[in-house]
Chains A and B, each alone.
Chain A
Amino acid sequence: MAYVAASSTLSPVPVRSHKECPLPALLQSLQESPFATWMLESSYGYPVILTLHTTGLAVVVGVMLLVDLRVLGQVLALPLQAMRPLMKLVWWAFFLNLVTGLLIFVSDAERYYGSVNFRIKMSAVLLAIALAVPVQRYLRDADAAAVSAPGSVRLAAIASIALWSATIVSGRLMAYF
């Protein structure tokens, strides 16, 4: 068979309808700001910021998963108290992604605002970050000899894994829908 350049992968350029969005004036002014223009037109602004966002995602989700697994009773040889610096790492990486995420949002505010996947992702991030608080508190307060976390903390850890996963799925699919 002769080689034919693939054309069947989905279009990387998202096509969206804004008909249901109220298009607040704020969004419009954001994406017409000089910063947004720079993000869209500079040859390195968007690539660097998006790559930083990807780096932060790997750290937040990857490290949080290890903490959640420990809380769920995996690798009990890791002292809970000693896991606390990992949460500091998660918070720094989350801060990086909050900042880079805001910059990415501003660059194309109307499009993101109207995206279903964006809204799902924001909801999942908010919930997941809220659940990091009880997990972190458990690391701090738990009895060193405790073998099993209370049910509510275990539930938070399970939900944390599910919600961060949802964040990856919806975030990745924002490139399509």
Chain B
Amino acid sequence: MPLHHDSPLILFLHDSFAGVAMRGIPWLFPSFEVLHFFGMALLVGAVGVIDLRVLGFARGLPLTALHRFQPIGVAGLVINIITGIGFVASDPLPYLMNVAFRLKLLLMLVAGLNILIFYFVLPRQARQLQANASAPMPARLVAAASLLLWFGVIWAGRFIAFTGKGTL
């Protein structure tokens, strides 16, 4: 996707309220970074533990109860989408042209589809494991994919900073 300094998308993001605020308020970018790391921990904690339980780790935990931690994962995701938009709007072109950033978006898209499969394609009982019950193979595959994808998102995200944009 060829983007230039004056591509409509770049201009829109750059001149948006988020872009102006992120560039104009000195403490905002570092604060968003702190929040982005919080969001990451919330998301990985909630989603990761649910995935691991489906894979047979900590079998004594009923999956039905673990799902009560879902709002924590959702909160982490929402925080990170908001702060992530802030980072991009602060200087859109280098982010949108960055290979690691594009890979991160792709991985998030696949991870999102994977969640939809878990909740809308797999049979209900895959999500309602009682303590010590084993998950069927399709659910295990989805859980393994989820773990790999979300850790891939972290790795790609970290490498945005090493390939040109953001802060180490």
Contact = CB atoms under 8 A, between A and B. Distances in A.
B23 A9 contact: yes
Given A55-B154, A66-B69, A83-B61, A168 B45 contact: no
Given A81-B60, A82-B61, A83-B61, A9 B37 contact: no
A50 interface: yes
At the interface, is chain A mostly helix, strand, loop or mixed? helix
Instruction: State the 7 A-B residue pairs at the shortest beta-carbon distance, nearest first.
Output: A62-B45, A82-B60, A77-B65, A58-B44, A61-B41, A6-B91, A85-B58
B17 interface: no
A148 interface: no
Contacts of B60: 79, 81-82, 85
Contact of B155 (A6, A51, A62): A51
B121 interface: no
B84 interface: no
Nearest to B11: A3
Interface of A: 1-3, 5-6, 8-10, 12, 47, 50-51, 54-55, 57-59, 61-66, 69, 74-75, 77-79, 81-83, 85-86, 89, 165, 168-169, 171-173, 175-176
B64 interface: yes
Contacts of A54: 37, 40, 154, 158
Interface of B: 5-6, 10-11, 14-15, 22-24, 26, 29-30, 33-34, 37-38, 40-46, 48-49, 52, 57-62, 64-66, 68-69, 72, 90-91, 93, 131, 151, 154-155, 158-159, 161-162, 166-168
Contacts of B40: 54, 58, 62
If over half of B's interface residues share one DSSP class (helix, strand or loop), that class is named, otherwise mixed; here it is: helix
25 contacts: A3-B14, A8-B26, A10-B30, A50-B158, A51-B154, A54-B37, A54-B40, A54-B158, A55-B151, A57-B37, A58-B40, A62-B43, A62-B45, A65-B45, A75-B66, A75-B68, A75-B69, A77-B65, A78-B61, A81-B60, A82-B58, A82-B61, A83-B58, A86-B49, A175-B30
